[in-house]
Structure 1
Amino acid sequence: MERLLKKKRFLVILFIFFILLSFSYSIKAQDLYISELMPINRSVVSDNDGDYDDWLEIHNKGDKAVDLTGYYLSDNPSNIKKWQFPKNNNNKTLIKPGEYLIIWADDETDEGPLHTSFKLSGNGEALILTNPEGNKIIDEFTFPIQKENVSWGRKKGDISKWSYFVIPTPGKVNDTIGIASFKIIELINYILNNIMVGLLFFGFILALIISSILLYIYQKKLNFSKLQLEIQNEKQNLLLNNVQTQIWYLKDPETYGTVNLAHLSFLGKTREEVENRSIYDFINNEEAETWVKKNKVPFIKKSEIKTKEWIRDKNDEKRLLSITKTPKINEDNKVEYVICSAEDITERRRNKQKLKAAKERLELAVEGANLSVWDWNMKTSKIEFNNKWTEMLGYEPEEINISVNGWKELIHEDDKKGVLKKLDKHLNSCTPYYQAEYRVKTKNGNYKWIKDTGKVFKRNKKGNPIRAVGVQQDIDNRKRREEKIRYLSFHDELTGIYNRRYFEKEIKRLNNSVKLPISIIIGDMDKLKLINDNYGHNVGDKFLKKISEIFDEATRNEDVAARIGGDEFAVLLPETDSDIAQKICNRIQDKIKEYNKKEELPETLEISLGSAVKEEKSQDLYEIFNKADQEMYKDK
Structure 2
Amino acid sequence: MHGIGSDSEESVPGAPESTLYSFLGRLSAALAGSFNARAVWQLRRQIEYQSHLIRRAEAVLANTEIFERASVAAHMGVWQCELPSERLVWSNGTYDLFGLERRSGIVRSDILRSYSDESLARLEKVRAEALEAGTGFGLDAEIHDPAGGTRWIRISATVERENGEPVRLFGVKQDITEEKQLFERMRYLAGHDVMTGLANRTRFQARFAELCEPGGPGGVLMLIDLDDFKEVNDTFGHALGDECLVEFARRLSALCQSAELVARIGGDEFAVLFGPAVGPQRIEAVAQRIIAAAEAPMNCSGRVFRIGASIGYAFTNGGAPAAVFTKADEALYAAKAAGRCAISSCDTTRRRMTAGDR
Q: Does the TM-score normalized on the shorter chain lie above 0.5?
A: yes
The structural deviation recorded for 1:583 is: 2.4
Change (3 A) 1:475 1:401: farther
Distance 1:453 1:356 in 2: 29
Q: Which amino acid aligns with 1:564?
A: I
Secondary structure of the residue that 1:396 maps to in structure 2?
Answer: coil
Q: Which residue of 1 aligns with 2:6?
A: 298
Q: State whether structure 2 residue 192 is matched by structure 1 residue 491.
A: yes
Structure 1, 606-615 or 401-410: larger mean CA deviation: 401-410
Aligned residue in 2 for 1:503:
204
> In structure 1, what residue type is equivalent to 2:288?
N
2:235 is the alignment partner of 1:534 = yes
- 2-structure distance, mates of 1:598, 1:539: 10
Give structure 1 stretches of 5+ with no counterpart.
1-293, 310-348
Residue from 272, 275, 293 that aligns with 1:591: 293
Aligned to 1:419: 123
Greater fraction helix: 2
Which residue of 335, 340, 345 maps to 1:635? Answer: 335
Question: Aligned in 2, Cα 1:518/1:305: closer, same or farther, shift over 3 Å?
Answer: same
Go from structure 1 to structure 2 and tell me whether the alpha carbon gap of 1:587 and 1:296 turns closer, same or farther (over 3 Å shift).
closer
CA contact (8 A) 1:515 1:574 kept: no
Q: Given residue 101 of structure 2, which amino acid in structure 1 is its aligned partner?
A: E
- Match for residue 404 of structure 1? 108
* Identical positions, percent: 24
SS at match of 1:406: helix
The AA in structure 2 aligned to 1:631 is: A
Aligned pairs for 1:594-605 (under 5 A) are 595-596=296-297, 602-605=304-307
Q: Which residue of 1 aligns with 2:350?
A: none
Distance in 2 (CA, whole Å) between partners of 1:613 and 1:389 is: 56
Matched, 1:389 2:94: yes
Per-residue deviation, residues 252-297 of structure 1 (Å, max 9, x unmatched): xxxxxxxxxxxxxxxxxxxxxxxxxxxxxxxxxxxxxxxxxx9994
- Equivalent of 1:435, from 138, 142, 146? 138
Contact 1:521 1:571 in 2 (8 A): yes
Across the aligned residues of Structure 1 and Structure 2, the Cα RMSD in angstroms comes to: 3.2
- Write the distance in 2 (CA, Å) between the matches of 1:404 and 1:447: 19
* More off after superposition, 541-550 vs 509-518: 509-518
Query: Separation in 1 of the partners of 2:333 and 2:52?
Result: 84
Give CA deviations for 1:78-128 in whole Å, capped at 9, x if unaligned: xxxxxxxxxxxxxxxxxxxxxxxxxxxxxxxxxxxxxxxxxxxxxxxxxxx
TM-aligned CA distance change 1:466 to 1:356, over 3 Å: farther
| Partners of 1:360 and 1:557 in 2: CA distance | 63
What aligned pairs does 1:531-610 form with structure 2 within 5 A after superposition? 531-557=232-258, 559-575=260-276, 576-593=278-295, 595-596=296-297, 602-610=304-312
Comparing 495-504 with 378-387, which one deviates more in the overlay?
A: 378-387
Q: What is the 5 A alignment of 1:14-29?
A: none
1:512 to partner: Cα distance: 1.6
Residues 516 and 614, structure 1, Cα contact 8 Å, conserved in 2: no
2:248 partner amino acid? I
The code of the aligned residue for 2:133 comes to S
Matched residues in 1 for 2:54 and 2:271: separation?
Answer: 70
**2:11 partner SS:** strand
Q: Distance in 1 between matches of 2:124 and 2:212?
A: 37
User: 1:597 and 1:436, CA in 2 relative to 1: closer, same or farther beyond 3 A?
Assistant: closer
SS of the aligned residue for 1:428 comes to: helix
Is the CA contact (8 Å cut-off) linking 2:299 and 2:305 kept in structure 1? Answer: no
Distance 1:504 1:355 in 2: 64
Give 2:330's aligned amino acid: Q
C-alpha distance 592-428 of structure 1, shift in aligned 2 (>3 A): same
| Structure-2 residue corresponding to 1:26 | none
Where structure 2 has 5 or more consecutive residues not aligned to the other structure, the ranges are 15-50, 337-358
Per the alignment, do residues 614 and 362 of structure 1 end up closer, same or farther by CA in structure 2, a change over 3 Å counting?
A: farther
For residues 583-616 of structure 1, the C-alpha deviation after alignment (integer angstroms, 9 at most, x for no partner) is: 22122123234x3298985531211111100123
The residue matched to 2:311 in structure 1 has which SS? strand
- What is the number of residues matched between the two proteins? 295
Q: What's the counterpart of residue 307 of structure 1?
A: 12
Partner of 1:613: 315
Matched with 1:318 is: none
Aligned partners of 1:392, 1:296: CA distance in 2, in Å? 53
The residue number in structure 1 matching 2:69 is: 367
Counterpart for residue 196 of structure 1: none
2:348 corresponds to: none
Does residue 377 of structure 1 match 2:82?
A: yes
1:522 paired with 2:223, answer yes
Judge conservation of contact 1:517–1:577 (CA < 8 Å) in 2. no
1:152-181 Cα offsets, whole Å, 9 max, x none, are xxxxxxxxxxxxxxxxxxxxxxxxxxxxxx
TM-superposed CA distance for 1:440, in Å, is: 0.5
Whole-angstrom CA distance in 1 between matches of 2:57 and 2:215: 64
Alpha-carbon spacing, 1:598–1:542, altered in 2? closer, same or farther (3 Å): closer
Q: What are the within-5 Å matches in structure 2 for residues 36-75 of structure 1?
A: none
Q: Is the 8 A contact 2:298 2:304 kept in 1?
A: no
Alignment of 1:624 with 2:324, yes or no, is: yes
Distance 1:558 1:466, change over 3 A: farther
Amino acid of the residue matched to residue 325 of structure 2?
Answer: F
SS of 2:305 mapped into structure 1:
coil
Could you give the per-residue CA deviations for residues 475-498 of structure 1, whole angstroms, max 9, x where no partner exists? Answer: 111211211111111111111111
Cα distance between partner residues in 2 of 1:453 and 1:511: 42
The answer to whether structure 1 residue 466 and structure 2 residue 174 are counterparts is: no
Match of 1:498, SS state, is coil
Contact map agreement 2:68 2:91 (CA 8 A) in 1: no
In the superposition, the TM-score normalised over structure 2's length comes to 0.73
What SS does structure 2 have at the residue aligned with 1:307? coil
Displacement of 1:627 in angstroms is 0.8
Question: Partners of 1:626 and 1:574 in 2: how far apart?
Answer: 19
SS at match of 1:534: helix
1:472-483 equivalences under 5 Å are: 472-483=173-184
Task: Determine if contact 1:381/1:404 at 8 Å carries over to the other structure.
Answer: yes
